[in-house]
Amino acid sequence: MRIHFFSAILATLALFPTLLFAVNEDLAPESATGTLVQKTVSARHQLVVTAHPLATQAGYKVLQQGGSAADAAVAVQAMLTLVEPQSSGIGGGAFMLYWDNSTQQLTAFDGRETAPAAADENLFMTAEGTPMDWWDAMVGGRSVGTPGVLAMLELSQKKYGKQPWDSLFNDAIATSESGFTVTPRLHQLLAANINPGLGRYPQAKDYFFTPEGEPLPVGYQLTNPALADSLRQIATQGATALYQGELGVKIVEAVKQASDNPGKLQLSDLQNYRAVARQAICRPFRQYRVCGFPPPTSGGVTTLQILRMMEFAEQQPLPADSVDFYHLFSQASRLAYADRARYLADSDFIQVPVDELLDDAYLHQRSQLISPLKDMGKANPGELPSKISRADDRSPELPSTSHFVIIDRWGNAVSMTSSIEMAFGSTLMAGGFLLNNQLTDFSFVAEQDGKPVANRVQPGKRPRSSMSPMMVFDENNQLVAALGSPGGSRIISYVAKNLYLKLSSDISLQQAFNTPHMVNRNGVTELEVGTAAEQFAEPLKALGHETKIRDLNSGLHGFFRQRDGSWASAVDPRREGSALGD
Ligand code: GLU
């Protein structure tokens, strides 16, 4: 049953005029589109959980036809490009954890966008030497990074796929031609003018609005023949169609032709793009081994830091509905986000002390800064043995993005977060899909007080992310869970909270996803509006917290192994996702 909270929608709409002028990380534009009551799907053999029922179906069909999780991921992403265009697509980037059950190997496939070779640390600076206004930077060609998701999918599918590549696009091509139904969420994001750039360039304007300039209504049957054509080229030629072929030319043209804000992307950037297979980072939490994605995302390190510090600081595992949980989670988050701002960025370009940040002795000592009786206030980053001297990063990340999980009949699994950054990305379209604005995840400012910012723009570098695809293993190295979420830099909080709650108690993963959110990114303690979290505002204030009640719009998708060995789905009630399995 779908329940829409119209009052919340109206409240959000009322906020927009101000939001358009004053952007900061407070903005969570994909909020207030209602909640769904989700029923758990219990699956013995295979399971797909994504943000849209058609993407779930496309992935599930591939599994039923004998495909692996790596095959299904291609079908899911192709369909999401069409049906959830605001959040992810082949014009963007992604991080995928892949568990190959037969070899017990976990791989972190990195399809993050890169900065063009012609970009430098002044990319987002004005002629006067000040950082650009965020919206000015974001809309148009300037913020478009070299898309990475397709190269990454091809890399993982070549290694772990069982079906022919060209068979994986059938559903997405057919649906691009026959059309899909505009969902309440897509309509509401358009109606809310979530991304003011959407009216600026003709392709997106014509695609998402009626000739009268109205946002496409709920239920509208939207076709995308240009995307069908692009996907057909990709199906027959492989990712080459985008990186070396006609599609690449279209992307570069779109970026250059945004004459009010042209970008630096060239064909050579596409030709030189490489997805990377990295080593996942795993650390203990209770009896489990929790694994996340290494830099260039901050998601894995920061999530693992929060969990471990909570484990060191708690007297006993804390339940979701206790002020002690809210307080402890906020304090561990403060410490972890402080380290994130100082140390985390693309480790191919700058030394990132991952081992030092995840060292047990270090985290134990950091956890001792937590008082059960008082908010610590702004946390400082920790002193590390390597004595790296850096300035903090203050780049905002605004939420769009999509997370999906897949497990196949052989026990192989995907946990993948995919993004074009802001809802509707740069708002430029090429070949029927939106181009990302991921370069705005870089720090606009390159140095401060003579110290470099780790996440400054450099040619070929990947912007720091918060995306946190996670997997959990038991003592026998058997997969127990996979999950992740969108939500900009709040992704880490959503993922860490749900991992803590699920791995500390008997509640189901779905029940964990249903619990109210609380976020502290080393500032104000945010409590999810309209939920039981609100009741903790006063007790937290008494501990010295500054609190704020607001939308906290995650899109968590995951699964968890049940005692009988079957897989239980979990779908965030805050979005329109679905699960299918058997
Ligand atoms: N651009 C963000 C990142 O890479 C994700 C944005 C979102 O989740 O909405 O971490």
Q: How far apart are CA 54 and CA 31, in angstroms?
A: 21
- Residue 103 in any domain: the answer is yes
- Residue 388 in any domain: the answer is no
Nearest CA among 480, 570, 501, 417 for reference residue 99: 480
pLDDT of residue 14: 30
Is it true that the peptide bond before 452 is cis, omega within 30 degrees of 0?
no
The pair phi, psi for residue 284, each rounded to 5°, is -75, 145
Nearest CA among 516, 522, 481 for reference residue 499: 481
CATH of the domain at 151: 3.60.20.40
- Residue 84 in any domain: the answer is yes
- Residue 357 in any domain: the answer is no
Nearest CA among 574, 580, 579 for reference residue 36: 574
pLDDT of residue 578: 96
Cα 538 to middle of ligand 1, angstroms: 31
Tell me how many domains the chain contains: 1
Nearest CA to ligand 1 atom 4: 465
Q: Are 75 and 58 spatial neighbours (Cβ–Cβ below 8 Å)?
A: yes
pLDDT of residue 352: 94
Q: Is the torsion defined by CA of 34, 40, 41, 46 positive or negative?
A: positive
Residue 336, token pair as written in the block: 């972890």
Q: Is the CB of 333 under 6 A from ligand 1?
A: no
Non-local CB neighbours of 467 within 8 Å, separated by 6+ positions = 94, 95, 293, 297, 299, 401, 417, 419, 484, 491
Q: Which residues of 444-461 are buried (b: 16+ CB within 10 A; e: fewer)?
A: bbbeeeeebbbbbbbbbb
Q: Are 246 and 252 spatial neighbours (Cβ–Cβ below 8 Å)?
A: no
Q: How far apart are CA 145 and CA 501, in angstroms?
A: 36
Nearest CA to ligand 1 atom 3: 465
Residue-wise pLDDT tens for the chain (582 aa)? Answer: 233 322 333 233 333 322 322 233 444 435 446 676 778 999 999 999 999 999 999 999 999 999 999 999 999 999 999 999 999 999 999 999 999 999 999 999 999 999 999 999 999 999 999 999 998 999 999 999 999 999 999 999 999 999 999 999 999 999 999 999 999 999 999 998 889 899 999 999 999 999 999 999 999 999 999 999 999 999 999 999 999 999 999 999 999 999 999 999 999 999 999 999 999 999 999 999 999 999 999 999 999 999 999 999 999 999 999 999 999 999 999 999 999 999 999 999 999 999 999 999 999 999 999 999 999 999 999 999 888 888 876 655 455 799 999 999 999 999 999 999 999 999 999 999 999 999 999 999 999 889 999 999 999 999 999 999 999 999 999 999 999 999 999 999 999 999 999 999 999 999 999 999 999 999 999 999 999 999 999 999 999 999 999 999 999 999 999 999 999 999 999 999 999 999
Cα 384 to middle of ligand 1, angstroms: 27
Cα 466 to middle of ligand 1, angstroms: 6
- Residue 386 in any domain: the answer is no
Judge residue 279's burial from the number of C-beta atoms within 10 Å of its C-beta, 0-12 exposed, 13-18 middle, 19 or more buried.
exposed
- Residue 346 in any domain: the answer is no
pLDDT of residue 394: 62
pLDDT of residue 22: 29
pLDDT of residue 34: 65
Domain range holding 482? Answer: 7-277+395-581
Ligand 1: atom nearest CA of 486 is: 8
Q: Is the CB of 375 under 6 A from ligand 1?
A: no
**2-3 vs 547-550, strand pairing mode:** unpaired
- Residue 521 in any domain: the answer is yes
- Residue 51 in any domain: the answer is yes
CA distances from 297 to 469, 501, 541 (A): 10, 23, 32
pLDDT of residue 19: 31
